[in-house]
Amino acid sequence: MLAKRIIPCLDIKDGRTVKGVNFVDLRDAGDPVELAEIYSREGADELVFLDISATEQKRKTLAQLVYHVAEKVNIPFTVGGGISSVEDVDILLQNGADKVSINSSAVKNPQLINDLVAKFGSQCIVVAIDAKQIEGKWMVHLVGGKIPTEKELFSWAKEVEERGAGEILFTSMDHDGTKNGFANKALAKLSKNLNIPIIASGGAGSMQHFTDTFVAGKADAALAASVFHFKEIKIKDLKEELQENGIPVRL
């Protein structure tokens, strides 16, 4: 079995790392380059940077941040936020990103997935999907969860795979920041339906939650933010516990 990955996520706003609950009430969590260096040293398998304030004007700033992160870390990292073209991806990869994550732009223009895969290869294209349950159905949302769409999680995820994306980052907005555990039933269904890796996001609050998402949720990787940023869970301790629970991880 492939080793399960632990991925700290850094939400970036105006050049700082922030964290909220259910996508709101943001508070400062530190300098992203410093945090990236710490996580790399502590044994994180990968990092994800999401620029939640991304605009055309700030694209240059994001590229500079990517460059500084690439100088400091020796693990793969993914960058997302406001990416909507082949040119955007080109700039970020040239500055040192290993993968890019697209979300709203993929929903609005699904052909973008095909275009990016054709240009850069599926291995560096991650499609992020934010969804919440509405009347029993998992519905895809955009713009940090503010705008509901007609797309349903499982059918959209299947289309994303068919268009060539290499990975899916699924965030349950119902679980995000609550620290009550991941959306394991939905994750298990995604894993059963798809052949590409699924990254679980939203809800990490304890080490047991990571075990649960790998066992019950069948996730390939687990992403978390505040439990790492505010030192509630140390990555080394987490990996040791996962290994004791029979889950393969890189120590």
Rounded distance between C-alpha atoms, residue 20 and residue 38, angstroms: 21
- Parallel, antiparallel, or unpaired for β 221-224 and 125-134? unpaired
Q: What SS3 state is found at 251?
A: coil
Residue ranges of alpha helices (H) inside 123-234 are 153-162, 184-193, 207-215, 226-229
> CA–CA separation, 10 vs 31, rounded Å?
10
What's phi and psi for 22, nearest 5 deg?
Answer: 50, 40
HSE toward the beta carbon, residue 59, CA cutoff 13 A: 14
Let me know if 130 is a catalytic residue. yes
Catalytic residue among 45, 51, 88, 130: 130
Number of H helices, E strands in the chain: 10, 12
Burial of 81 (0-12, 13-18, 19+ CB in 10 A): buried
In whole angstroms, what is the distance from residue 57 CA to residue 44 CA?
31
Helices (H), 73-151: 86-94, 104-108, 111-120
Rounded to the nearest 10 degrees, the angle between the axes of helix 59-72 and helix 86-94 is 30
| Residue 141: other Cβ atoms inside 10 A | 22
Residues identified as active-site: 11, 130
